[in-house]
């Protein structure tokens, strides 16, 4: 399934917000600061650390969502052993 870049950015934002105790341990200013990700499309992936990137990749694989090409290429070049081969 292909999705728009803005939905992919939302998935990245949600992955970031779910860390630790979820939204409960995120200060409102932190959440507001990170909301800029929602306007970044596929570039939102770069805001995430490796752990959260793995969450996004796993989520997309689980739901049959194709990663944006630049994200897929970056993920596969950095972690070839964790990438799916079709």
pLDDT for the residue numbered 79: 82
The mean per-residue pLDDT over the stretch 67-75 comes to: 92
Q: Enter the pTM of the model.
A: 0.83
Distance CA 80, CA 68 (A): 17
Per-residue pLDDT for 2 more than 70? Answer: no
pLDDT for the residue numbered 84: 54
Q: Which of 9-13, 31-35, 41-45, 78-82 is predicted with the least confidence, judged by mean pLDDT? A: 78-82
Per-residue pLDDT for 85 more than 50? Answer: no
């Amino acid at each position: 399934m292909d999705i728009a870049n803005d939905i992919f950015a939302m998935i990245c934002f949600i992955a970031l917000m779910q860390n630790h105790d979820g939204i409960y341990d995120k200060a409102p200013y932190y959440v507001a600061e990170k909301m800029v990700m929602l306007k970044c499309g596929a570039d939102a992936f770069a805001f995430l650390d490796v752990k959260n990137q793995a969450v996004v990749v796993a989520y997309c694989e689980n739901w049959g969502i194709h990663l944006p090409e630049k994200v897929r290429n970056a993920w596969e070049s950095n972690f070839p052993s964790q990438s799916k081969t079709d």
